[in-house]
Amino acid sequence: MFDTSFTWNDFLYLLDGAWVTLQLTFWAILLGSFAGLLFGLLRALLPRATLPLAWVLDVFRSVPLLIQFVLFNSFKSIVGIDINAFAVGCIVLGIYAAAYFTEIVRSGVLSVPFTLRRASRSLGLSYVQDLRYIVLPMATRVAFPGWLNLVLSVMKDTALVMWIGIVELLRASQTIVTRIQEPLLVLCIAGLIYYVMSLVVAQLGARLEKRWQEND
């Protein structure tokens, strides 16, 4: 007969950790999307002038995220910046997401045929109108799948914030494992919660993408 020390309160504790994971993902993606959109447009429209920006973003894409968490957390302590660990997690994840989303936006903008843009200008649209009504709608559809994959990736990467003291889903599961010594069961439940959260995000994204196609 299957016997376990895992209780309903343990499950609720995992759900509390999952809620922290979702909050981290939301704020990181919000910050990363706004910054990435701005940086991506600049990189696509002013490639030479924004080379220094590209080099900086390359650093954030290349350095492992765990190292970024540790360095930023140590830096804010040395400088004396009074922000909590949750804010540090959101900022680091947000910058990390922005570094990737910049390239997603840039590739989306550059995918719009130059002949189409020239045709829109010949019809009397201004440069700003061309960006608003022609470039951005088409680039959004190209960039959306990449953005959705980025959301799912950031959701999994939130597990690394445990190293700066945040109790998210993985940290919560490790706490329970330490107490009841049933790692297989606890990690399977935590993995299932991750799967459900990712599935919901993916399904919402697929539904939105399908609605776009139906409106064509």
96 within some domain? yes
69 within some domain? yes
37 within some domain? yes
CB 89 within 8 A of CB 166: yes
* Domain span at 160: 23-167
202 within some domain? no
**96: number of Cβ within 10 Å:** 25
Averaged pLDDT for residues 76-82: 81
- Eight-class DSSP state of 13: H
Helical segments of the chain, H only: 8-45, 51-62, 65-79, 85-110, 114-122, 127-130, 136-157, 169-180, 183-214
- pLDDT at position 73: 85
- Confidence band, pLDDT 50/70/90 cuts, at residue 208: confident
50 within some domain? yes
**Mean of the per-residue pLDDT values of the chain:** 90
Averaged pLDDT for residues 34-49: 93
CB 168 within 8 A of CB 24: yes
Question: Model pTM?
Answer: 0.90
Amino acid at 178: T
The per-residue pLDDT for range 137-185, each reduced to its tens digit, is: 888 888 999 999 999 999 999 999 988 889 999 999 999 999 998 999 9
- Domain at 104, CATH number: 1.10.3720.10
Q: How many domains does the chain have?
A: 1
- pLDDT at position 59: 93
Q: How far is it, in rounded angstroms, from Cα 94 to Cα 153? A: 12
Q: How far is it, in rounded angstroms, from Cα 158 to Cα 22? A: 9
- pLDDT at position 23: 96
74 within some domain? yes
Examine the pLDDT at 1 and tell me if it is beyond 60: no
Residue 168, both tokens: 């998210």
105 within some domain? yes
The per-residue pLDDT for range 85-121, each reduced to its tens digit, is: 899 999 999 999 999 999 999 999 988 888 777 787 7
Q: Identify which of 126, 185, 143, 119 has the alpha carbon closest to the alpha carbon of residue 44.
A: 143
11 within some domain? no
Q: Identify which of 148, 196, 154, 164 has the alpha carbon closest to the alpha carbon of residue 14.
A: 196
- pLDDT at position 78: 83
- pLDDT at position 2: 62
